[in-house]
Structure 1
């Protein structure tokens, strides 16, 4: 298990627990009581730390290298061997940072689309750190249109630091591709259910994030710009990234309070990587609940509900 800087007290207690168990095994002494006391301290420390996370600490947790990614969620929530990945935008290439395909969840057909990061150095380069090119957004739109044709719900899973900022992406119309997706998604006549499972940054996230319902997992963030980038613009360096994280109101609670999202999906204590099966089940149950609720809507009603939801954002009564 890898530990973040603010998790060091937990790491120290875990090492004490391991040493306690080892002493018991090697010496034959009954140390169950001592180990149990350390376990209680570990649980107490976890509740203390994870119950009082700062926005910047939540950003760090969303980027934990062992956190489950889109393909992990697909494997964890879909019926066995039901996912069929579909490739290419029928125009330029197949973007490995954006994946999608048909699947079944408890026998119900869905189209799942999401941004995918890599774990190894080679895989990170292959997936471009989860930053899609224009062809990735065009592939996503192609799959959404296919789902609309057959009245299949669309599930989008977002975990991206933003759209790919390279010159070649701009040459191929990065801005237009994201804008086109937003334009088409607000008019799609099939349910769209969106989940922020890690990082949700800028237009890179919004390009597949226009849903009838939008949810954030407990330890994720969703805002117009990453804290480091915000700090570099305002203060000309990354030293104020924590201040930027506080100011951006990027946590799930902030987004829910500001009516940007519709709900927060709970995670296991310490983050989704601590017990991914629980995180998968929580997301799965939310998907099934929404599929059932939206099955009663007509295509026009789905379109209207989605448009009204996003038009209402940013409207406040004094």
Structure 2
């Protein structure tokens, strides 16, 4: 029961409607920005069209459609800051611009702590005196978040331009969006909206590293490929692939940020008899219960770490390869 509780708390960034407000921590680790000060920041906005984004109406206001821009033939590799947790060092266009960012392909959007957004000179996006609050179902810890944009991020020599984020209006923390990760401290989350733009991203959890390619295609090692899983588009979710639970076909979210094996919302069990991703069958998989009944099942970091996982979104496929030393 204690394990389930810890897991549920760590996964509060998943689609979950929660009511109530945030109580500021007594030790000052998180401070919510007063509403009057928030209004001052939000009074200065830039139109999304300036960055090539579109504006469209939604219930209660407006939102944006669009994402970052990459430079052709840029590649980079980065080591995780601690262990096999996919948090990496990301820089900006000046020495003061640096953050520790969680790579979370299961999150549809990207998020950033307020002070970090200011260090990166983020703009809030707005149009015709309207701002763009986050209206989705992900739990932000009771803190408002608004759409913004950062001009440039750098992973080594790889540059990402005009990156959209939701700026969480508190300092010192991004709350449950950090997925329960305390060390290293997570300043921002790079979600699927941005990560999906790469030609490929390769996670090597065993060797605690990740590789990026903006436009150069990935050539898999035929002798090492165990399977390739087709990417499935799920509105309002991150990266999902075609999979199955005991022969029943369904999309499965890949969650490198989650410290667990498998999670499902349809049934409370301690172990799932068989989970399939592509041609790989995982048997007797330790399983935890998702807090929302109709949430898609998730494959966590402990289930994925056996393989080198290469995400080729533009080809619509994810490769699972053995490590060469195996």
Shorter-chain TM-score tier: under 0.3
Quick check: which one's helix share is greater?
1
Normalization by structure 2: what TM-score? 0.22
Quick check: which one's strand share is greater?
2
Normalization by structure 1: what TM-score? 0.23
